[in-house]
């Protein structure tokens, strides 16, 4: 069965471009992003890994460790990383898991046989410091992911882990947020003494807390 939000992200030990990693130990108390790409030395994957390499400081700033994966061997990942640096202008400094026996791919249900029975799809798992899955995304091989969106969701996840709020459609850092539906007006008055705007009884808006 596929992983669901709130499940514990399965632990594993795997060979990577940065040596053998025990996943939970490597994560420590950090947030994590585990993402798969179908195949090394392919065009869309090259642009994706380059984009994540460019965003390294953004993941870092949010306390998020990033790790990639494909079914290719570690030597292939190393050689391809040089191409990525050359063509995309950023070095891949995060580890890439080599999963030729598909142990991790199977654990995370990253191979969708009706799409391709040997290669992983483009999966993304955001994992919280409690090791629970907070977000899953699945894209086909033909569509490169938007990693700014992954960062945007992480901003929302980190904010909503700290305050009893939710974030509206297309929200980005600094914009107004919504008081969670489970929060009564009485509790909201204690949590947000500066008040909020009631657009409808179920739609209560306030400036992003903590800014
Ligand atoms: C790509 O990255 O372009 C790609 C990888 C595997 C299958 C199809 C496309």
Query: Over the stretch 66-91, which tens digit does the pLDDT of each residue have?
Result: 999 999 999 999 999 999 999 999 99
CB 134 within 8 A of CB 44: no
For a mutational test of ligand 1's pocket, the pick from 35, 40, 43, i.e. the residue with the most ligand atoms closer than 8 A to its C-beta, is 43
For a mutational test of ligand 1's pocket, the pick from 35, 36, 37, 42, i.e. the residue with the most ligand atoms closer than 8 A to its C-beta, is 42
CB 42 within 8 A of CB 10: no
Contacts of 146 (CB under 8 A, 6+ apart): none
d(CA 110, CA 119): 8
- Give the distance (Å) from ligand 1 centre to CA of residue 150: 20
d(CA 93, CA 25): 19
| Atom nearest to 144 CA in ligand 1 | 2
d(CA 35, CA 12): 15
Residue identifier of the C-alpha nearest atom 1 of ligand 1: 44
Domain ranges within the chain, ordered by starting residue: 13-145, 163-206
Kindly name the residue from 45, 52, 104, 159 that is annotated as catalytic.
45
d(CA 56, CA 179): 32
Strands 177-179 and 165-166: antiparallel
Prediction pTM value: 0.97
In DSSP terms, 34 is beta-bridged to 67, 125
- Give the distance (Å) from ligand 1 centre to CA of residue 126: 22
HSE-CB for 22 with a 13 A CA cutoff? 3
**In a 3-state reduction of DSSP, which class is residue 128?**
coil
Please identify, in words, the CATH class of the domain defined by 13-145: alpha beta
For the cut 90, the answer to whether the pLDDT of residue 1 exceeds it is: no
For the cut 70, the answer to whether the pLDDT of residue 171 exceeds it is: yes
- Give the distance (Å) from ligand 1 centre to CA of residue 121: 9
- Give the distance (Å) from ligand 1 centre to CA of residue 107: 22
Is 163-206 a domain of CATH 3.40.50.11890?
no
Ligand 1: residues within 6 Å at CB? 38-39, 42-45, 119, 141
DSSP structure class, residue 9: P
Let me know if 45 is a catalytic residue.
yes
Give the mean pLDDT of 189-196: 97
- Please, what is the average pLDDT of the chain? 97
CA distances from 42 to 37, 39, 116, 133, 161 (A): 10, 6, 15, 28, 37
Angle at 87 between CA 83 and CA 88, to 5 degrees: 110
Kindly state the tokens that stand for 194.
């500066």
Confidence of residue 211 (pLDDT cuts 50, 70, 90): confident
């Amino acid at each position: 069965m596929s992983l669901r939000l709130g499940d514990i992200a399965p632990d594993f030990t795997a060979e990577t471009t940065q040596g053998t990693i025990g996943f939970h130990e490597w994560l420590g108390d950090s947030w994590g992003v585990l993402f798969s790409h179908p195949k090394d030395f392919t065009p869309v994957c090259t642009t994706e890994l380059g984009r994540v390499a460019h965003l390294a400081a953004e993941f870092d700033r949010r306390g998020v460790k990033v790790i990639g994966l494909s079914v290719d061997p570690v030597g292939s990942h190393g050689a391809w990383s040089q191409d990525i640096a050359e063509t995309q202008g950023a070095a891949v400094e995060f580890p890439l898991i080599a999963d030729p026996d598909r142990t991790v791919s199977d654990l995370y249900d990253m191979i969708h046989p009706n799409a391709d029975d040997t290669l992983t799809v483009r999966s993304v798992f955001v994992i919280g410091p409690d090791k629970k899955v907070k977000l899953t995304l699945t894209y086909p091989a033909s569509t490169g992911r938007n990693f700014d969106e992954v960062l945007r969701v992480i901003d929302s996840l980190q904010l909503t882990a700290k305050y009893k709020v939710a974030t509206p459609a297309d929200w980005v850092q600094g914009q107004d947020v919504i008081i969670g539906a489970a929060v009564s007006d009485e509790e909201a008055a204690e949590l947000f003494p500066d008040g909020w705007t009631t657009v409808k009884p179920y739609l209560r808006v306030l400036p992003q807390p903590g800014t």
